[in-house]
Amino acid sequence: MIGRLNHVAIAVPDLTAAAEQYRTALGAKVGAPQDEPDHGVTVIFIELPNTKIELLYPLGENSPINGFLEKNPAGGIHHICYEVDDILAARDQLLKTGARVLGTGEPKIGAHGKPVLFLHPKDFNGCLVELEQV
Amino acid sequence: MIGRLNHVAIAVPDLTAAAEQYRTALGAKVGAPQDEPDHGVTVIFIELPNTKIELLYPLGENSPINGFLEKNPAGGIHHICYEVDDILAARDQLLKTGARVLGTGEPKIGAHGKPVLFLHPKDFNGCLVELEQV
């Protein structure tokens, strides 16, 4: 069911410093910051040959990243995103196995303009898992 | 400098349950458990089309995963691994930027039989970063 690892999202306390570090210390291809007001984040994509890293920084007071950075002031890996072909079929299969889908259970349009769902971390080894239909 | 994302390593409190969940609920291609006594872990590889997930479970009393699971009883993402062509050149470049390398600073032979280094999470947004020479 799951396909490619679409991205690993890392919440960072200083977006400029994190981007510069990936550019300079790790020599990676680092994009420009993009505000995503619908998702309460500013994102910088790091393009690796086989997948992406998303640096996440809070945008606005109600950012979903605020709580994470309060608990993890140095930052940390926020979620991983797996691609699926059919997000509703994936959701229904997951619900059958007892996994919980966050929110209403209906896909939302994610930061890449595609339908996404998040799965409850307690059901997935403490990892917040995003599914994205590609 | 960094190349592909080689793997994302997830420490899990129940290896059999986690493998079964990736196989059944997420429909992934899940390998057999492999004991890595030199690294104090039992590993299951999940093969995605573009990268791997490594499920890590402690092997032995001195496993480096024990402390992580004490702090994160549900499990969690333990580290991410980037590939590099020349691990000594990568290390020297990192040291120049002020990043810290864990341990002696000399590469060890990792779970895949290749030279690896780990970077200090405090220097990398709270993420434990492994570099693997490929």
- Taking the C-alpha atoms of residue A65 and residue A47, their distance in angstroms, rounded to an integer, is 22
Determine whether the interchain pair B8/A99 forms a contact, defined as Cβ–Cβ distance below 8 Å: no
pLDDT per residue over A44-56, tens digit each?
999 999 999 999 9
A71: nearest CA in chain B? B126
Average pLDDT over residues A99-126: 92
Average pLDDT over residues A28-54: 96
Average pLDDT over residues A101-124: 92
Average pLDDT over residues A14-30: 96
pLDDT per residue over B93-110, tens digit each?
999 999 999 999 999 998
How is residue A71 annotated by DSSP? Answer: H
Which amino acid is located at A17 in the chain?
Answer: A
Determine whether the interchain pair A94/B26 forms a contact, defined as Cβ–Cβ distance below 8 Å: yes
For residue A116, the Cα-to-chain-centroid distance in whole angstroms is: 10
Q: What is the pLDDT of residue B110?
A: 85
Q: Where are the alpha helices (DSSP H) in chain A?
A: 15-24, 66-71, 87-96
Q: What is the pLDDT of residue A111?
A: 79
Give contacts of A50 with chain B, Cβ < 8 Å.
Answer: 4-5, 50-51
Determine whether the interchain pair B125/A3 forms a contact, defined as Cβ–Cβ distance below 8 Å: no
Q: What is the pLDDT of residue A6?
A: 98
Interface of A with B (CB under 8 A): 1-5, 8, 10-13, 18, 21, 24-28, 48-51, 53, 55, 72, 74-77, 80, 82, 93-94, 97, 99, 121-127
Which among B25, B3, B71 has a CA at the least distance from the CA of A101? B25
- Taking the C-alpha atoms of residue A53 and residue A64, their distance in angstroms, rounded to an integer, is 18
Which residues lie across from A49 on neighbouring strands?
Answer: none
pLDDT-based confidence at B112, cuts 50/70/90? confident
> Domains of chain B: which residue ranges?
5-133
**Under 8 Å between Cβ of A46 and A30:** yes
Closest residue to B10, CB basis, from A13, A27, A127: A127
pLDDT per residue over A75-98, tens digit each?
999 999 999 999 999 999 999 999
- Predicted confidence (pLDDT) at residue A110 exceeds the cutoff of 90: no
| DSSP line for B47-92 | E-SS-EEEEEEE-STT-TTHHHHHH-TT-EEEEEEEEES-HHHHHH
Give contacts of B74 with chain A, Cβ < 8 Å.
Answer: 121-122, 125-126
The answer as to CATH 3.10.180.10 being correct for domain A7-133 is yes
- Mention the CATH class of domain B5-133: alpha beta
pLDDT-based confidence at B111, cuts 50/70/90? confident
B94: nearest CA in chain A? A25
